[in-house]
Structure 1
Amino acid sequence: MGAVLLFALAAPAGAHSVSIGGPTSGIPIPSLTHGQMAVIADYRGRILDLAARQQRTDLTFRRLMNYGNIQYSYCLWGLVPGSLRDEESPFNECGHAYLSAAQALLVYMQEMGDQKDAVQALISDIDADMVRNQASFVMCRFSGEAFNTANIISPGWSGIFFHVPSLMTFAMLALMLVAGVMALAGPKGRRSDEPGGIKPT
């Protein structure tokens, strides 16, 4: 029952669907609404902890896990401010991708039978939070976008220049990198020909 509700909540209206136009030869992954994405983000750690305790795995399980991990790294591990909650973030689409993969992994674990009680309990907690937050009603332009393990979603790199939080993040990283390089390249001490410097023997 929990899996049915989880899938129902993850199926936004067709009017919001987006076609990514990429390869579809892999495992299809249902989309999340913007509100559901925020809820799954809070539970992703618990989903992965539960997945790590699975004693028996199969190809589908491993592909879902691998896809989610790759998308998470492509999305810079969710560290860019606003990447999950700001629809205009160039990292929002890839955020949808790795969180959709996390939900798909959880639902698939229910079918595997291992850790069944723990999986069902986690699904129930997520269902309750989604209903409490009316997550299925909070939409964005990526809410209807279905994903596929054969199609990796990259951030919209060109959009960084038009998204202030992302631009500021990368500008700060660049300044820190420059400062670090300058600190490493700076003098280690006084030169021998400077007053008070150490003269060669």
Structure 2
Amino acid sequence: MRKLIGLALVLTAIAASASAHGAPAGGPTSGISIPSLSHGEMSVISTYRGAIIDLAENAADTNEDFRRVLNYAQIEYSYCMWGSVPQSVSDENSPFNECSHAYLAATKDVLLRMRTMPREAAAASEIVSNIDTELVLHQLSLILCQFSNESFNTADIIRPDWSAVPMHPASMASFSAIALLLLGSAWALRRTGRSAG
């Protein structure tokens, strides 16, 4: 239920915003630069995202840049519907692929920053080693897509391309299912209210 409420709030905020997804003309003028990541890295890092964020949230010896990149990763993750839209990571044509690149690039940056922290270095290095192994085993290191060369910045929020949702079958099916669930819930609540009265 919390995710549905969160989804409704994010959709309301997005509907109120007139800005398109992607970087504004001229690009960000402040913030922390976040290096790009390949399409192949996305699928592996998405698997480890929870462990990386848990480690980062419990990190003791942090600095402002680390906290800003971590915050950016979490903001982008929520804009990307918490990674719950099907094919948002695997399909470069997904309206959610660019924002997935953003939150996963920030997640990778957070992980690499933790390798220099005394308490988190060992755990972070182990995750990096596991990611590297999977990239090599599955030959994902060199798989690229249209967003693979795009670097990001904490001053630039990347939003999904909402206008492309109707043309992307997996995204459209996902949002149609949510709409049906909400309508069904409203109908059930209404029936319950009539029965009680």
Q: Which runs of 4 or more aligned residues in structure 1 lie more than 4 Å from their structure 2 counterparts after TM superposition? A: none
TM-score with structure 2 length normalisation? 0.82
Larger radius of gyration: 1
Amino acid at match of 1:188: R
Show the 5 A alignment for 1:6-155.
Answer: 20=23, 21=25, 22-155=27-160
Instruction: Give the superposition deviation at 1:140.
Output: 0.8
| Correspondence for 1:188 | 194
- Is this contact kept in 2: 1:64–1:101, CA < 8 A? yes
CA distance in 2, matches of 1:85, 1:59: 32
Which range moves more in the overlay, 50-59 or 109-118?
109-118
CA distance in 1, matches of 2:68, 2:195: 54
| Correspondence for 1:7 | none
Question: Could you list the per-position Cα deviations for residues 150-197 of structure 1 after superposition, in whole angstroms to 9, with x for gaps in the alignment?
Answer: 100000000001001111111111112112212222263398xxxxxx
CA distance in 2, matches of 1:24, 1:31: 18
Change in Cα spacing, 1:113 to 1:170, as seen in structure 2 (3 Å) is same
| Correspondence for 1:160 | 165
The secondary structure found in structure 2 opposite 1:107 is helix
Percent identity, please.
Answer: 47
CA distance in 2, matches of 1:117, 1:169: 39
Instruction: Give the superposition deviation at 1:125.
Output: 1.4
CA distance in 1, matches of 2:196, 2:49: 52
Amino acid at match of 2:152: F
| Unpaired runs of at least 5, structure 1 | 1-18, 192-201
- Is this contact kept in 2: 1:24–1:151, CA < 8 A? no
Please give the root-mean-square deviation of Cα atoms over the aligned residues, in Å.
1.8
Which range moves more in the overlay, 39-48 or 69-78?
39-48
Change in Cα spacing, 1:54 to 1:183, as seen in structure 2 (3 Å) is same
| Correspondence for 1:9 | none
Matched residues, number: 173
| Correspondence for 1:10 | none
Instruction: Give the superposition deviation at 1:24.
Output: 4.2
Which range moves more in the overlay, 44-53 or 60-69?
44-53
CA distance in 2, matches of 1:169, 1:32: 26
CA distance in 2, matches of 1:36, 1:151: 22
Instruction: Give the superposition deviation at 1:55.
Output: 1.3
TM-score with structure 1 length normalisation? 0.80
Amino acid at match of 1:84: V
Show the 5 A alignment for 1:169-184.
Answer: 169-184=174-189
Amino acid at match of 1:67: Y
CA distance in 1, matches of 2:102, 2:196: 54
Amino acid at match of 1:159: A
Question: Could you list the per-position Cα deviations for residues 50-72 of structure 1 after superposition, in whole angstroms to 9, with x for gaps in the alignment?
Answer: 21331111101100110000000
